[in-house]
Structure 1
Amino acid sequence: MGCRASLWLLISSCWVWGIGCGTMETVLGTLGKATILGVPPKFQELTQRFGTATWKRSVENPLNKEYLFTYYNGNYTNYKPGQIRFHPSNFSLEILSTQRQDQQLYEYSITMEAGETNWHIQLAVYEPVSDPSIHILDWMLANDSCTVTLNCTAARGDNISYSWASSEASTSSPCTHNGSLLLLSYDPTNSSLACACTASNPVSRRTTAFHSSICSIEQQGSWRTGMLLLGVVLPILILIVIAGAFTLVYVIANMRQPREQSPHTEDSTVHTIYSQVQRVEKPKPPCSPVGTDHPTCTTIYAAATNASLPPYSPQSPNTEPKTVYASVMLPIS
């Protein structure tokens, strides 16, 4: 239920039940922090005079109320220990850790002889804003002017409002603007321009500065130098890699060529053949055994060898000298 509806129901109940409604104020509470609900000096005097007071808060509507604290002639009772604290010096109520469900209508009632008088407090709870961050959505450098689109956002907080201003006191600053988006145009040679974004809500306020350096001439010069170096060095590196690849292919091809020209067949081996010569003689008795003084048979030992030995190759045939034993038989006459 909204605050306006709660207030209307409160006023209606005052008229219906004839209760003195007194005055109402709004107190802002910060989520997670302590909140003090104070009592005006007039009500403090009445409490000391009549000695009876009660802290209550509305639940769902002003007619349903929850008792939080009672005070009677110096004695008091806390109905929410660990959540609230009562200060007898000024009769104020402290909420130790404010939560969203504490956003209610609170009532401080003083019982008098002729009736009671009330002090109403509407508590509004807000989450504090976090430090805002500035993002560059777009930028352009043209005609010696830099145009930047900035967006300021805060990650946490309720009911956040954004505003832009110059970090220095200036009435004609291009940074002055209300809203999260800022379209900023300035001279890129002006390095002293600084804008600040402020994110705020009823209980907190945070500011972040932005320095105009994105379009600076120095940054553009360094960017162009980097691009120039990239355009010169990269082609040279590519040429070196290609030349190295061609050199490697050429060396491998030359290493394979001698192997392909080496002999692989035994047809190129040169042999020497010795022919046998016979003469006609008269028949003689059979050959005497080997080792006698006058053998009747003559044995010729002929060696057939290669004229020249080719270089050794694992695939070439056996080229060792070959020995042929030839026996010449003389005819018997």
Structure 2
Amino acid sequence: MGSGAWLRLLLTLAALWGTGARETLLGTLGEATLLRIPRELRECTEEFGEASWKKITQEPLKKKFLLKISGGNHTEYEPGRMRFHKEDFSLEILNTSRDDRRLYEYSVSKGSEEEVWQIQLEVFEPVADPSIRILHQESSNGSCSLALRCSSERGDEVSYSWDSRDNGTGGICSGNGSVLTLSFPLRSAAFGCVCTARNPVSSRRATFDAARCGSQLRGVPGVRTELLVPLVVLGVIVVIVIVVVVTCRATRSAKCDQDPSQVTPASATIYAQVQRVQKPKGTVPNATPLSCTTIYAAATGPPPAPDGAPRSPAGSPTPRGRPPLSQEPTTVYASVTLPVA
């Protein structure tokens, strides 16, 4: 038998004994919950000075003390989880958990009698912000048909309802449940549908703009947001690769198409060494020592032919199958011997 069945059995037995659960309190998971007592019980506590807070455990007719009040003093049995407020004799659960979903009891001893106040605590996890997803979309003949689904990732006993963002849509967004179907002309798509996700302790809202229906083509599903960034990055990489390939091909083609005849012949420098001839011995007793003279001369290649093609030197035909000689600068060394007077 589960804890819920035991709790129902306890409530039945308590009703037979005339005490019964008099209040149901809703607590939020992870937040503080305050257990209060009525004004009459506060007055009785001040008058008699004997009271206690207890909780009912899973076993039937078994109670656990949380707090005892006697003669103006109090004793806490779970100080790390509970906080007692002397001004109104209330008990605060600091961090409500699912295990705190129990029946609590406050009792005041009035001599030979005892007055009891019972509180049934129900704990709920609050709902998270809902999201709206398009289940079906169709645009034709100037009208749009939509099927929307609203959902929340967290929350206990969540219910959903739909309404219009403003009052000028004639209740087109009204509905209950997580799914909403609607049809409307595209020219009047300036409205929004609001989904409300709620449970007994919380409420959250999300809005869908009807103008989104005209932003997509018929039969084409919407691109998921998590896939949009990788697609954009891939597109940029493809464009960069295409630009690099086209640029390389254009540069290579320009180098191959260059006309050799447009190359200006480079100038050449000729180094000439002139040496004087020495006369026989005895002719000139004091002959001047031989000296060498270096002549620098600039030379250029042969002039171009009348038709613009480079002219080859006479007697030096270009071998078949070999490229023409380069027009790079050439150094010529010549030795000239001059007679001495």
Q: TM-score, normalising length from structure 1?
A: 0.64
Alignment CA distance shift 1:10-1:135 (3 Å): closer
**What is the deviation of 1:7?**
3.6
**Which runs of 5 or more residues in structure 1 are unaligned?**
224-237, 256-306, 317-333
Matches within 5 A, 1:110-121: 110-121=108-119
Q: Contact conserved, 2:161 with 2:176, CA < 8 A, in 1?
A: yes
**Which protein shows a greater Rg?**
1
Question: Among 311, 323, 327, which residue is 2:318 paired with?
Answer: 311
Structure 1: which 4+ aligned runs deviate by more than 6 Å? 248-252, 313-316
What is the match of residue 6 of structure 1?
A: 7
Structure 2 residue identity aligned to 1:90? D
Structure 2 residue identity aligned to 1:6? L
What is the match of residue 66 of structure 1?
A: 64
Q: Distance between the aligned counterparts of 2:169 and 2:47, measured in 1?
A: 56
Cα RMSD over matched residues? 3.5
Matches within 5 A, 1:209-228: 209-216=207-214
What is the match of residue 48 of structure 1?
A: 46
**What is the deviation of 1:185?**
0.8
Q: Contact conserved, 2:160 with 2:178, CA < 8 A, in 1?
A: yes
Q: Contact conserved, 1:53 with 1:72, CA < 8 A, in 2?
A: yes
**What is the deviation of 1:114?**
2.1
Structure 2 residue identity aligned to 1:67? F
Provide the secondary structure at the position in 2 that maps to 1:215: helix
Q: Contact conserved, 1:10 with 1:62, CA < 8 A, in 2?
A: no
**What is the deviation of 1:112?**
2.3
Provide the secondary structure at the position in 2 that maps to 1:63: coil
For residues 79-117 of structure 1, what are the alpha-carbon distances to aligned partners after superposition, in whole Å with 9 as ceiling and x for unaligned? 111211111222111111111111111111112222322
**What is the deviation of 1:213?**
1.1
Q: Distance between the aligned counterparts of 1:51 and 1:22, measured in 2?
A: 23
Q: Distance between the aligned counterparts of 1:250 and 1:74, measured in 2?
A: 103
Alignment CA distance shift 1:250-1:52 (3 Å): closer
Alignment CA distance shift 1:81-1:311 (3 Å): same
For residues 23-59 of structure 1, what are the alpha-carbon distances to aligned partners after superposition, in whole Å with 9 as ceiling and x for unaligned? 4211000011110111012222222222111101111
Provide the secondary structure at the position in 1 that maps to 2:211: coil
Q: TM-score, normalising length from structure 2?
A: 0.62
For residues 279-312 of structure 1, what are the alpha-carbon distances to aligned partners after superposition, in whole Å with 9 as ceiling and x for unaligned? xxxxxxxxxxxxxxxxxxxxxxxxxxxx943315
Q: Distance between the aligned counterparts of 2:155 and 2:99, measured in 1?
A: 17
What is the match of residue 99 of structure 1?
A: 97
For residues 248-306 of structure 1, what are the alpha-carbon distances to aligned partners after superposition, in whole Å with 9 as ceiling and x for unaligned? 89997x99xxxxxxxxxxxxxxxxxxxxxxxxxxxxxxxxxxxxxxxxxxxxxxxxxxx
Q: Distance between the aligned counterparts of 1:216 and 1:250, measured in 2?
A: 50
Q: Distance between the aligned counterparts of 1:175 and 1:2, measured in 2?
A: 41
Provide the secondary structure at the position in 1 that maps to 2:173: coil
**What is the deviation of 1:65?**
1.6
Matches within 5 A, 1:244-323: 308-311=315-318
Alignment CA distance shift 1:173-1:13 (3 Å): closer
Structure 1 residue identity aligned to 2:61? L
Provide the secondary structure at the position in 2 that maps to 1:208: strand
Matches within 5 A, 1:163-178: 163-169=161-167, 172-178=170-176
Q: Contact conserved, 2:21 with 2:120, CA < 8 A, in 1?
A: no
What is the match of residue 138 of structure 1?
A: 136
Alignment CA distance shift 1:65-1:95 (3 Å): same
Alignment CA distance shift 1:62-1:37 (3 Å): farther
Q: Contact conserved, 1:9 with 1:61, CA < 8 A, in 2?
A: no
Provide the secondary structure at the position in 1 that maps to 2:62: strand
Q: Distance between the aligned counterparts of 2:39 and 2:6, measured in 1?
A: 28
Q: Distance between the aligned counterparts of 1:70 and 1:145, measured in 2?
A: 70
Q: Distance between the aligned counterparts of 1:182 and 1:26, measured in 2?
A: 33
Structure 1 residue identity aligned to 2:47? R
Question: Among 194, 197, 205, which residue is 1:196 paired with?
Answer: 194
Provide the secondary structure at the position in 2 that maps to 1:155: coil
Structure 2 residue identity aligned to 1:115? E
Structure 2 residue identity aligned to 1:193? F
